[in-house]
């Protein structure tokens, strides 16, 4: 049975006061993924008693924790829990009382691009931690930062060291506020005897992760893990979670040593496994280890970025109606397609850090820790890929004829649009003007409606729904620039005359564009709408057969390409 421990700090204080000289440390965000491993390493070292600070009012242990080091430490008083919100300075001070060291690991979910949330925790919360350390005369503060503090969202990072400056613009609000928090911690070094340093662990993985592996498996079971975004050649530094925890302990030991502290205090350090690997190869090893297929179909970045911007804007408009946070966002596309490798030489020289678990061993332990996520021999998908492509919502129900009344009604509406806008022989400009007139009329009538009709609430549209912020405009500009650079890269590859596969894909794409340009707007609409309904319906009905045909066709094409290359372009 899980153990529940009260978060009242009076109990923790009584433990400290009667602790017979134990040395206490605090881990903020102590129930987070990496923090749990740090807590266990601290307890296992025998050198520390640990106060675990986190948001929840009480701590609930997992079964393996109940029977392990943490459960025993709580029962014997060598670990206590303190409920503390970093945005509440009084709670933070209480959590830090009597501590010699604070490991500040708390942070919001990086995937939620909410500037107000990230600023309140990563910046204001970090200020409170620093003030609490000074007030409680804490000797050492180790802050968990992120390598993303160097990422501008456009340029990849290859073997960067700590001398690399912060970018002028950041990829997202998490990275920006993490950088601000890091600056505050470095600036606080030496303040009333407090020694500080920052740890930048890169792409953490391992047992207990609730984001990376579960997300990969969800994608694999939905048939979406077969795709590689970009060219698949970008390298990453992944870090096994126990190495991350060990890096923090190395930092604390360096600050505790008077001679080494002269170099380590006020510094930032990258922590990795020191084994760079291709990002998509790493993902493939996890998927293969769990029994799923490796990603194999490449989708260019310049194709995905406009789609990602559209998804992000749609979420901004419809999030109030319960739309879940999308996985496909511009910031994630950038992260999936660029290099992100870092040098650990400084941490090795000044902190004495070296990985204690290799990448291969870390992958093995990670895969073995998810037996419940392994692939079944005949895994039935509850949701078809055609439905997923259409958003698995009302659009999917309509196009796939799940709701026949709704599908028929939609076809009548589309026929009405065709009759009034296209069958009359309007040009594209005229049809667009007519459509905009309809939108204006709809908005005007919608604005006149009362807030409630027959018991149904009418959600009023605001002008802000249609505004584009400066930040969003900059992101779109970055996306356009990135797409342009990708196209230039394709042109360079074609000019070399070596990549036949790329050449054929470009030719086929241009032929498709040429065909679309030949057709009139009326013909395109007349063919496109029925084709969409028919294509998605047939794809869902014969999904497995179509996937098998595509896989065999791609395999055959690769074989023909290899044979042609050997025959006509022999290597010198």
Which DSSP string corresponds to 408-448?
A: HHHHHHHHHHIIIIITT---HHHHHHHHHHHHHHHHHHHHH
**CB of 157 closer than 8 Å to CB of 341:** yes
DSSP 8-state symbol, 162: T
**CB of 389 closer than 8 Å to CB of 486:** no
DSSP 8-state symbol, 375: P
Question: Rounded to 5 degrees, what are φ and ψ at 539?
Answer: -65, -40
**CB of 37 closer than 8 Å to CB of 204:** no
In the numeric block, which tokens belong to residue 509? 């794409």
Question: Rounded to 5 degrees, what are φ and ψ at 541?
Answer: -70, -35
Cα separations in angstroms, 116 against 23, 119, 122, 124, 176: 36, 5, 10, 10, 12
CB atoms within 10 A of CB 466: 9
Of 178, 183, 263, 492, which is the active-site residue? 178
* Cα 428 from Cα 419, distance rounded (Å): 14
Cα separations in angstroms, 357 against 275, 281, 290, 360, 514: 11, 19, 20, 8, 55
280 three-class SS: helix
In the numeric block, which tokens belong to residue 148? 């993303």
Cα separations in angstroms, 449 against 33, 445, 452, 456, 464: 49, 7, 8, 12, 19
* Cα 227 from Cα 215, distance rounded (Å): 14
**CB of 145 closer than 8 Å to CB of 106:** no
* Cα 27 from Cα 95, distance rounded (Å): 9
In the numeric block, which tokens belong to residue 519? 């057709």
CA dihedral 157, 163, 169, 175 (to 10 degrees): 80
DSSP H helical segments within 497-542, as ranges? 500-518, 521-541
DSSP 8-state symbol, 124: I
The answer to whether 89 is a known catalytic residue is no
DSSP 8-state symbol, 13: H
Closest CA to 48 of 77, 68, 28, 5: 77
Show which residues are catalytic. 178
């Amino acid at each position: 049975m899980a153990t529940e421990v009260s978060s009242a700090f009076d109990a923790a204080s009584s433990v400290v006061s009667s602790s017979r000289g134990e040395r206490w440390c605090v881990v903020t965000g102590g129930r987070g993924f990496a923090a749990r491993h740090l807590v266990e390493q601290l307890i296992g070292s025998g050198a520390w008693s640990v106060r675990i600070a986190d948001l929840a009012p009480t701590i609930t242990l997992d079964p393996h924790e109940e029977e392990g080091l943490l459960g025993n430490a709580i029962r014997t008083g060598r670990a206590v829990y303190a409920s503390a919100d970093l945005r509440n300075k009084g709670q933070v001070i209480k959590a830090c009382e009597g501590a010699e060291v604070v490991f500040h690991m708390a942070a919001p979910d990086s995937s939620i691009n909410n500037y107000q949330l990230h600023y309140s925790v990563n910046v204001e919360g970090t200020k409170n931690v620093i003030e609490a350390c000074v007030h409680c005369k804490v000797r050492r503060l180790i802050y968990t930062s992120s390598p993303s503090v160097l990422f501008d969202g456009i340029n990849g990072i290859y073997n960067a060291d700590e001398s690399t400056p912060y970018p002028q613009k950041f990829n997202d609000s998490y990275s920006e506020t993490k950088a601000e928090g890091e600056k505050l911690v470095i600036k606080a070094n030496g303040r009333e005897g407090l020694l500080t340093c920052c740890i930048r662990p890169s792409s953490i993985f391992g047992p207990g992760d609730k984001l990376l592996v579960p997300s990969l498996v969800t994608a694999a079971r939905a048939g979406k893990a077969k795709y590689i975004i970009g060219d698949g050649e970008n390298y990453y530094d992944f870090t096994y979670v126990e190495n991350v925890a060990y890096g923090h302990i190395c930092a604390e030991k360096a600050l505790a040593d008077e001679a080494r502290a002269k170099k380590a205090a006020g510094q930032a350090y990258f922590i990795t496994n020191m084994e760079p690997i291709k990002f998509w190869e790493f993902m493939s090893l996890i998927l293969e280890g769990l029994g799923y297929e490796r990603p194999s179909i490449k989708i260019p970045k310049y194709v995905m970025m406009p789609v990602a911007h559209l998804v992000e804007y749609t979420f901004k408009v419809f999030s109030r109606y319960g739309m879940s946070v999308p996985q496909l966002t511009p910031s994630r596309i950038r992260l999936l397609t660029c290099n992100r490798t870092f040098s650990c030489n400084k941490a090795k020289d000044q902190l004495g850090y070296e990985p204690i678990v290799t990448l291969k061993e870390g992958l093995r332990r990670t895969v073995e820790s998810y037996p419940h996520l392994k692939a079944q021999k005949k895994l039935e998908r509850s949701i078809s890929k055609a439905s997923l492509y259409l958003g698995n919502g009302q659009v999917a129900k309509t196009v796939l004829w799940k709701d026949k009344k709704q599908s028929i009604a939609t076809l009548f509406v589309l026929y009405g649009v065709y009759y009034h806008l296209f069958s009359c022989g309007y040009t594209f400009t005229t049809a667009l003007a007519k459509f905009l007139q309809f939108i204006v009329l709809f908005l005007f009538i919608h604005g006149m409606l009362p807030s409630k009709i027959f018991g149904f609430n009418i959600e009023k549209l605001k002008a802000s729904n249609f505004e584009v912020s400066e930040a969003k405009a900059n992101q779109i500009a970055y996306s356009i620039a990135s797409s342009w650079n990708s196209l230039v890269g394709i042109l360079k590859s074609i000019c070399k005359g070596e990549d036949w596969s790329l050449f054929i894909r470009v030719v086929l794409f241009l032929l498709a564009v040429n065909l679309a340009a030949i057709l009139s707007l009326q013909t395109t609409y007349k063919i496109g709408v029925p084709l969409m309904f028919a294509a998605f319906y047939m794809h869902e009905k014969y999904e497995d057969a179509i996937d098998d045909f595509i896989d065999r066709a791609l395999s055959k094409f690769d074989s023909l390409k290899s044979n042609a290359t050997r025959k006509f372009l022999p290597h010198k």
